[in-house]
């Protein structure tokens, strides 16, 4: 496995979901650099490793909710964290948490392209 020089690697083993997500969101936005610009993507690519070893309790999984919309009338579904963790694993929960911490503009899509979550 060859590591690029500009990649930021975050180890999620034994850490909570929010701590990992905030660290990744700050680096993706570029707020850790002195050349931060709000209107342009200036962040680093981020790799989150050991996502399956994330420390999260069953009570926290029950309290996490997120929405999924199909585009049709009545197509808004509210899913619990337990449902998402069973179907797609903890990798998807990390991606959703980071997605919600990024600014809600066109640059968010660009930032999410530079995020890789691995087991």
DSSP state of 78: E
What global pTM score does this model have? 0.89
- Read out DSSP for 16-73? -HHHHHHHHHHHHHTTTSTT--TTS-----EEEE-GGG----HHHHHH-EEEEE-SST
68-111 pLDDT, tens digit each: 999 999 999 999 999 999 999 999 999 999 999 999 999 999 99
- What number of H helices and E strands is found in the chain? 5, 5
| Per-residue pLDDT tens digits for 56-67 | 999 999 999 999
> Cα–Cα distance between 94 and 69 in angstroms, integer?
19
Query: What CA–CA distance (Å, rounded) separates 68 from 48?
Result: 24
For domain 8-58+90-117, which CATH number applies: 3.40.50.150, 1.10.10.10, 3.40.50.300, 3.90.1180.10? 3.90.1180.10
Residue 49 in contact with residue 118, Cβ under 8 Å? yes
β-strand pairing of 115-117 with 46-49: parallel
Domain spans, the chain = 8-58+90-117
């Amino acid at each position: 496995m060859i590591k690029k020089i500009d990649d930021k690697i975050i180890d999620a083993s034994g850490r909570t979901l929010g701590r990992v997500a905030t660290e990744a969101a700050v680096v993706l936005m570029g707020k850790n650099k002195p050349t931060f610009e709000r209107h342009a993507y200036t962040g680093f690519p981020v790799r989150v490793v050991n996502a399956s070893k994330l420390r999260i309790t069953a009570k926290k999984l029950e309290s996490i909710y997120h929405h999924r919309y199909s585009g049709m009338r009545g197509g808004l579904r509210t899913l619990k964290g337990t449902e998402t963790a069973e179907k797609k694993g903890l990798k998807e929960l990390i991606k959703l948490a980071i997605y919600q911490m990024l600014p809600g503009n066109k640059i968010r899509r660009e930032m999410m392209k530079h995020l890789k979550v691995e087991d």
